[in-house]
Structure 1
Amino acid sequence: MMTSAYPVRALLMAIFLLMAGSGFLSTLLAVRLETAGASAGIIGLVATAYFGGLMLGSMRVERVMARIGHIRAFAAFVTVYSASSLTYAIIDYPAVWTMLRFVDGFAMAGVFVCLESWLNQQASPKNRSAVLAIYMIALYSGQAAGQFLLNLGDNAPDLPFMVSAILLSIALLPILLTRMEQPRIEAVAPFSLKRLYQVSPLGIVGTLVTGAMLGAFYALGAVYIQRIGMGLSQIALFTSCVIAGGVALQYPLGILSDRFDRRLVVIACFLAAALVCAPIVFLDIGATGTIALGSLFGGFSFALYPLCVAHSNDHLSEDERIGASSGLVLTYSAGAVAGPLIGSAGMGALGPAGLFVVIGSLALLGGVFGIWRTFARAAVPADDQQSFQSLPRTTPMAAVLEAEDDPSSSR
């Protein structure tokens, strides 16, 4: 794996620094809004703006790159994000923060497309899986580590925003100084969502529900922790443990899905996520119990997106998979846009626990839909299933990175 990492070390360093500098902002903003007395609806709206910008940006930023090139586009997107991070400290107003989060999402889409298209160019059929795995490790480890920057705000409220801008600015250096040839954007053929549903109903519905679950969590998980009386350091630890749990269980669950009917693993993950939410809602489990269950929630919920993509690929030909995977990324994004609004409505009606009532209900809905699909269609034989591949929930360019160039390697 280290051999595969060396040629793309500049890209891996850039994504680690970017996620460390930006991944905690959603948590920080939610905490600040909650402290200022904002309603759950306002906090959810601010979070929704980010996912809306990410979704729109993933469909539009390629035009910018085609016009000015990858390095200049990357520098422009990161500079905008860095400036936005400082603006939060200057203007403390929810309407402005909503607009800034939309800009952040659009800029981050540009960053993801830049880096993922570069990784796609550097990867070969022999090491593509290793490169993607290393990219996932760098992305999620940066996001998990960045959560602890929340603690900087205890005595200096503006310091986390400044550190965010510093890390984002430093992330420019590996790309600006690289000698790697600028990549060519791979065109992703559109794939009808109607056709995708006909091919794999569980794939597209599962992806949509997963997006809503995780969108609600990312937007309001910190607010829940704060409202039940836990401090800033515990918020950082909780969020980091959820991400770490998500990384830890993806591959074991993926391997399991390669050996059995993949739908059963998807259903089990949905039902397990719903089951984890139950004690959070109904029992007084304390800080340690909440963090432990958060890790389990991350483990089961983070695995759902790549499992749904793999399940969809089981029903598609080789040349359809890239377009279908890009459609699933956008479906996930649509769910993530709706998730914070649904979650905030739950918290407004039921109090802090309403967030996990909503998330648990969505997970239960996904599990029930999956059970119905097991009766509606026969399972794909295990030997005919596409091998599981852990995937980032970023932009359609990740679908190109995931694609296997050597047809002989797919089952």
Structure 2
Amino acid sequence: MSNILRSFSSLYFATLLMVLASGVLTTYLGLRLAADSAAQIWIGGMMSAYYLGLVAGSKIGHRLIARVGHIRAFVASAGITTASALGHALIDDLAIWLVLRLLVGMGMMCMYMVLESWLNEQADSKNRGTVFASYMIVSYLGLVLGQLAISLNPELTLKPLLIVAMCFALCIVPLALTRRIHPAPLQPAPLKIKLFWQKVPQSLTTIAMAGVIVGSFYGLAPAYIAHSGASTEQVAAYMATTVIAGLLAQWPMGRLSDKIRRSRLIRTNTVLLGAVVLCIAILPLSGVLQLLFTFAFGILAFTLYPLATAMANQNVEQEHRVALSATILLTFGLGACIGPLLASAFMQLVGNSMLYGFMALCTLLLFLRLTQVNYQQKQQDKELPQDYVMASGDLVSSPLAAALDPRVDQQMVQEQMVHPHHPDADLPTADQELSSQDSNGMSAAESVTGTVTIEAEPDKPQQSDHNKPA
């Protein structure tokens, strides 16, 4: 573990600074808009614009990295992201803020692609799991540190934006000075959305709903807590507690999914998550009890995506997994774009409690859809062809029909088929047919143009005589 951390220290340190800056910016914007009494739809729109930028950046990032290489693409993206973050301090127009959030999302996706493709190429089969597990731990640690940085600046001045700019600028340094081998250019992954929605519908439905729930939480939870009268420090503690729960749940849930069928585990997770968010929406929670419920929410909500991803990969062939990864990222990104907009609309119409009420509705729809798909798949398994199928059509009147009858002598069938009009060929009587039953229950026939062999399948049981066509 220590050797891996040292080997990839530059990439991990860049990831830590980048995610820390992103976490500070997301929470700061939510609190700033809530303090300015902005409509909930604007707060949701900010997060939707960010995830829309992530989706768009996946395509732009591939082209940029292929054209100029990983390090130059990372530097350019970090520069654009830094300028966009500082733009929030210069302009107060919310429409411009949406554009800035879009640019931040595009830059972040490009930087993610640089880091993850670099790690994927430099890691080998012996340490790949440990490398990416460490990467996820560093990412969650960056999110937690971002919430703690917000708590150190509760006045919501320009200081958090300066911290964001500094972190985005400093994350360039480790990659610029790294001595690791430069990775090969990326190859665009093809999208096969229709194919995978038919092949793994439960997984992609879960991933889409996970995007809706997680996107709604990151975009609107700071404003939701702030509107309940919590201070900036309490909002930061609330967000940090949820992220820590998601981090701690990854390993145990992964081990559990190796022992329990993943489709059943996802449905159980969905039911428990629905109960938790419904309690948060209805009960007047505060203090430690509120932190306990959001801790449970983090455990259940942040494990839906990895569970669904694992279930999708176990049902897809190796050669399709690159395309599957692209489809999964697109599905999650689109869900995260739509979620904050819908949740903010519900909150504006009904009240702040509808953030978790909306999540409860999402879990209900997800459970109903998963149950429906699971039932349909079981019915399809029952309707698979059986071992014995009644012959019909032209085969009944064909000379080969006699070859399928076990009561007919094999040698006699061959003579009849080779010389059907031979004057000395006598037709077998019924007693002769019954006495010449083949011990194997099937027979073969040879024609003038070739040989047709019809044998019993070894994995299928023989049929009894009263089930065979007369």
Query: 2:6 is matched with which residue?
Result: 6
Counterpart check, 1:23 vs 2:20: no
Alignment of 1:175-324 (within 5 A): 175-324=175-324
Aligned mates of 2:257, 2:339 — CA distance in 1: 27
Query: 1:394 is matched with which residue?
Result: none
Residue-by-residue CA offset, 1:189-225 (whole Å, 9 max, x unaligned): 4242111011111011111111111111111011110
Q: Contact conserved, 1:188 with 1:326, CA < 8 A, in 2?
A: no
Residue-by-residue CA offset, 1:126-168 (whole Å, 9 max, x unaligned): 1000000000001111011111222343346011101111111
What's the TM-score, normalizing by structure 1? Answer: 0.89
Residues 189 and 167 of structure 1: CA distance in aligned 2, closer, same or farther (over 3 Å): closer
Q: Contact conserved, 2:148 with 2:237, CA < 8 A, in 1?
A: yes
Q: Contact conserved, 1:210 with 1:332, CA < 8 A, in 2?
A: yes
When Rg is computed on C-alpha atoms for both structures, the one with the higher figure is: 2
1:4 is displaced (CA, Å) by 2.0
Alignment-mate amino acid for residue 366 of structure 2: G
Aligned mates of 2:49, 2:297 — CA distance in 1: 24
Query: 1:57 is matched with which residue?
Result: 57
Q: Contact conserved, 2:66 with 2:186, CA < 8 A, in 1?
A: no
Aligned mates of 1:194, 1:249 — CA distance in 2: 32
What's the TM-score, normalizing by structure 2? Answer: 0.78
Residue-by-residue CA offset, 1:251-305 (whole Å, 9 max, x unaligned): 2112111112110111111111111112211111213222211111111111111
1:70 is displaced (CA, Å) by 1.2
Give the 3-state SS of the residue equivalent to 2:125 in structure 1. coil
Alignment-mate amino acid for residue 50 of structure 2: Y
Aligned mates of 1:362, 1:156 — CA distance in 2: 32
Aligned mates of 1:365, 1:295 — CA distance in 2: 23
Query: 1:402 is matched with which residue?
Result: none
Aligned mates of 1:285, 1:318 — CA distance in 2: 47
Query: 2:360 is matched with which residue?
Result: 360
Residue-by-residue CA offset, 1:60-113 (whole Å, 9 max, x unaligned): 211111222211111111111112222211212211111100000000011001
Q: Contact conserved, 1:188 with 1:323, CA < 8 A, in 2?
A: no
Deviates more, 1:249-258 or 1:29-38: 249-258
Aligned mates of 1:218, 1:38 — CA distance in 2: 17
Deviates more, 1:339-348 or 1:187-196: 187-196
Residues 301 and 134 of structure 1: CA distance in aligned 2, closer, same or farther (over 3 Å): same
Counterpart check, 1:157 vs 2:157: yes
1:24 is displaced (CA, Å) by 2.2
Aligned mates of 1:161, 1:294 — CA distance in 2: 27
Counterpart check, 1:134 vs 2:140: no
Structure with greater contact order relative to length (CA < 8 Å, sep ≥ 6)? 1
Alignment-mate amino acid for residue 58 of structure 2: S
Aligned mates of 1:56, 1:209 — CA distance in 2: 20
Aligned mates of 1:273, 1:56 — CA distance in 2: 30
Query: 2:103 is matched with which residue?
Result: 103
Query: 1:86 is matched with which residue?
Result: 86
Q: Contact conserved, 2:154 with 2:233, CA < 8 A, in 1?
A: no
- Structure 2 residue runs of 5 or longer lacking an equivalent are 380-470
Aligned mates of 1:185, 1:270 — CA distance in 2: 39
**Number of residue pairs matched by the alignment:** 379
Alignment of 1:361-376 (within 5 A): 361-376=361-376
**Percent identity (aligned):** 32
Alignment-mate amino acid for residue 106 of structure 2: F
Query: 1:395 is matched with which residue?
Result: none
Query: 2:448 is matched with which residue?
Result: none
Aligned mates of 1:98, 1:173 — CA distance in 2: 29
Alignment-mate amino acid for residue 319 of structure 2: D
Q: Contact conserved, 1:280 with 1:356, CA < 8 A, in 2?
A: yes
Q: Contact conserved, 1:117 with 1:184, CA < 8 A, in 2?
A: no
Query: 1:404 is matched with which residue?
Result: none
1:377 is displaced (CA, Å) by 2.2
Counterpart check, 1:48 vs 2:66: no
1:378 is displaced (CA, Å) by 4.6
Alignment-mate amino acid for residue 294 of structure 1: T
Give the 3-state SS of the residue equivalent to 2:8 in structure 1. helix
Aligned mates of 1:56, 1:23 — CA distance in 2: 20
Aligned mates of 2:231, 2:305 — CA distance in 1: 31
Query: 1:117 is matched with which residue?
Result: 117
Alignment-mate amino acid for residue 333 of structure 2: S
Counterpart check, 1:36 vs 2:36: yes
Aligned mates of 2:327, 2:156 — CA distance in 1: 43
1:375 is displaced (CA, Å) by 2.1
**CA RMSD in angstroms, aligned pairs only:** 1.4
Q: Contact conserved, 2:62 with 2:187, CA < 8 A, in 1?
A: no
Aligned mates of 1:123, 1:312 — CA distance in 2: 23
Alignment-mate amino acid for residue 109 of structure 2: A
Aligned mates of 2:185, 2:206 — CA distance in 1: 29
Alignment-mate amino acid for residue 136 of structure 2: M
1:245 is displaced (CA, Å) by 0.6
Give the 3-state SS of the residue equivalent to 1:23 in structure 2. helix
Alignment-mate amino acid for residue 131 of structure 1: V
Aligned mates of 1:212, 1:185 — CA distance in 2: 32
1:370 is displaced (CA, Å) by 1.8
